[in-house]
Structure 1
Amino acid sequence: MNKLLYYIWYPLIWLISLLPLSFLYRISDLLYYPVSLAGYRKKVILDNLRRAFPQQSDEWRKNILKKFYRHFCDLFIETLKLQHISDKEIYKRITFSNTKFLDEAAEEGKDVIAVLGHYGNWEWVPAINLHIRAQGYSVYRPLKNKAFDKYMIMLRSRFGSKNVPMKKTLRLVAGLKKQNKRFVLGLIADQSPARTEIQYWTNFLTQPTPILLGPEKMSKMVKGAVVFFKVSKPKRGHYHIDVVPWNGDIENAKEFEITEWHVRLLEKCITERPELWLWSHRRWKYQYQYKSS
């Protein structure tokens, strides 16, 4: 049934993605009303906002909810547009600063681990592959629906970036190191670990939060460099990413030091513009368990 739904849905989104973004944003404006009226994951979003910003009023949180819905609708149509957007337009729509750090790392024979969150438009981030010399890779969690999973991989590969399932990351990295091929590996680090995989908790947006340690472990393994992709949204349909390097000594970094670094940077981004984060995700579904000594 899911496969049949995909083949019915695909021709429609293929045609829609041919439309210019200026027109697609009108569709986004219309889409906002049913999403808002239906209250898409409203309870989860407001609960997350209450946890993250307990000092704010209910009115403030409802206002952020509305802004999030508008951004979420834009994100949806921007993702669809990936199918037909040109290199020339994506150059205008998402810009980057300090990519020279990535090129210099490649020249020095260093690989780079790039950390980001579900903030802004993470689906456009692979366009950085048009700006750097090393091969870009994105780590992802495969979707259960194989047809939709194949579709999303196609979108994320538009600009030469390659995709690797999370469980195959170590094998990929080991192979690239053996072949002496330089790479920039992108990891989204604000997802909840599975309960059985929780190894570290920290205070994130006022909440005890389990954090994935993949970026820190991977950066120490490759002995290269680690950066944070700081995303901003200057105006509708336009994003900017500042490549922020970790300036410490990776090999001698204290345990969790790199993790705390990128968590604080993402936290600052969210605090400055809350509506750009993916609040519909149940980020705090696990309760912190204190270990007795």
Structure 2
Amino acid sequence: MQLLSYILVYPFIWLLSILPFRVLHFISDAFYYLLYYIIGYRKKVVFDNLQLVFPEKSDEEITRIAKKSYRHFVDVFVEIIKLFTISKKQLAKRYKIGNIDVLKKLEKQNKSTLLMGGHYANWEWIFLLNTQVSFNGYAVYKKINNKYFDKKIIETRGRFNTNLVNTKKIFSVMNKNTEENRLSLYGFLGDQSPQVTKAHYWSHFLGVDNLPIHTGAEHLAKKYDLPVVFFKTKRVKRGYYEVNFELITDEPQSFKDYDITDIYLRKVEEEIKEAPEYYFWTHKRFKHRGKNLLKKNQD
């Protein structure tokens, strides 16, 4: 069944991928109308999230952000599809890499590094970075259930010198790279909600208290003494982005537990508040809010 699904669906994805951006954006506009006005895909989730995070905004403002967010949501979806066939040269024209010197300096010091970002703007195109640095690039991802699609995505990202690593295998990969002194750059996105049973830390994000927080990236940075760099993505205009880097620390072991995670979260918040329409509000980021307090009361 997995193979059949792949055979039936992938040719359609490939055909979409070879289309020029102007055609893809036309398709995106049509799907935006379908998702927002007809299907209402996760509309309650989006509006609930926005009203929770921006209680000071009027209904009109919330609606305006929501509509722009849906448009961006579909744009990113077609831009991800475009990655299957886009050339490095074409991608470089649309995804400008800013102050890469932050990473080049760590590279010269032979320091493997942990790179953190959020689900903001187009985080997928960050893979282009690995064609412009000497690091061996790794991106932590959740394995797709269909093994054929999973293999194709790994192959596609490999065109940009990126190795996708399943969350379950990242420890063994980092152990091996450390033992072999392999200069590596590890990419993490940590702004979504972890499972409650796996949450070690509860804090606030976007003004909402008592949320479970991903802390795996900080744990690995401390374990392997990796500098932590934040990447901030800006949407310049439709189909064009710019990314810049900021060193959070090159001495992670000097920080108290969860301080690096808190700094990271504040940077994601700043990014979102500058232009909230480019964040993925369809995520159920706040679904576990307050469950830590409920558990304490039960205990």
Q: TM-score, normalised by structure 1?
A: 0.95
CA shift for structure 1 position 117: 1.0
Q: Say if 2:226 and 2:250, in contact at 8 Å, map to a contact too.
A: no
Equivalent in the alignment of 1:32 = 32
Match of residue 43 from structure 1? 44
Secondary structure of the 2:169 match is helix
Farther-moved stretch of structure 1 (145-154 vs 90-99): 145-154
Q: Distance between the aligned counterparts of 1:200 and 1:95, measured in 2? A: 35
Deviation at 1:149, TM superposition (A): 2.3
Q: Distance in 2 between matches of 1:98 and 1:136?
A: 18
Structure 1 CA distance for aligned equivalents of residues 121 and 157 of structure 2: 16
1:223-261 Cα deviation digits (max 9, x unpaired): 131001111101111111111101463221111110111
Distance between the aligned counterparts of 1:244 and 1:28, measured in 2?
32
Matching residue's letter, 2:196: R
The amino acid that maps onto 1:278 is F
Distance 2:173 2:180 in 1: 11
The corresponding residue for 1:4 is 4
1:262 matched residue in structure 2: 264
Cα separation, 2, equivalents of 1:152 and 1:285? 29
The code of the aligned residue for 2:247 comes to P
Shift in alpha-carbon separation, 1:123–1:155, aligned structure 2, 3 A: farther
1:16 aligns with 2:21: no
Task: Give the equivalent residue in structure 1 for 2:274.
Answer: 272
TM superposition shift of 1:148: 2.8
Aligned alpha-carbon RMSD (Å):
1.6
Deviation at 1:142, TM superposition (A): 0.8
Deviation, 1:154, is: 2.9
Q: After superposition, what is the alpha-carbon deviation per residue over 1:13-64, rounded to whole angstroms, capped at 9, x for unaligned?
A: 1112111112211211222111122111101111111111111112211111
The correspondence of residues 58-207 of structure 1 with structure 2, limited to 5 A, is 58-207=59-208
Q: Distance in 1 between matches of 2:49 and 2:2?
A: 30
Letter in 2 for 1:94: Y
2:153 counterpart SS class: helix
CA–CA distance in structure 1, aligned partners of residues 251 and 149 of structure 2: 41
Q: 2:221 aligns with which of 219, 222, 233?
A: 219
Gaps of 5+ in 2: none
C-alpha contact (below 8 Å) 1:82/1:158 kept by paired residues: no
> What CA distance in whole angstroms lies between the structure 2 residues aligned with 1:78 and 1:154?
17
Q: By how many angstroms is 1:2 displaced?
A: 4.8
Cα distance in 1 for partners of 2:28, 2:276 equals: 20
CA deviations over 1:48-99 (Å, ceiling 9, x no partner): 1111111111221111111011101111111111111111111111111222
1:286 is matched with which residue: 256, 268, 288? 288
- Separation in structure 2 between the aligned mates of residue 177 and residue 106 of structure 1, nearest angstrom: 15
The aligned amino acid for 2:132 is H
Deviates most, 149-158 or 96-105: 149-158
Alpha-carbon distance between aligned partners in 1 of 2:71 and 2:3, rounded to the nearest angstrom: 29
Indicate conservation of the 8 Å contact 1:114/1:229, yes or no: yes
What letter matches 1:238 in structure 2?
Answer: Y
Could you state the TM-score of these two structures normalised by the residue count of structure 2? 0.93
Q: Name the SS of the counterpart of 1:192 in structure 2.
A: coil
The match for 1:242 among 235, 240, 244 is 244
Distance in structure 2 (CA, Å) of the matches to 1:44 and 1:4: 33
| Unmatched 5+ stretches in structure 1 | none
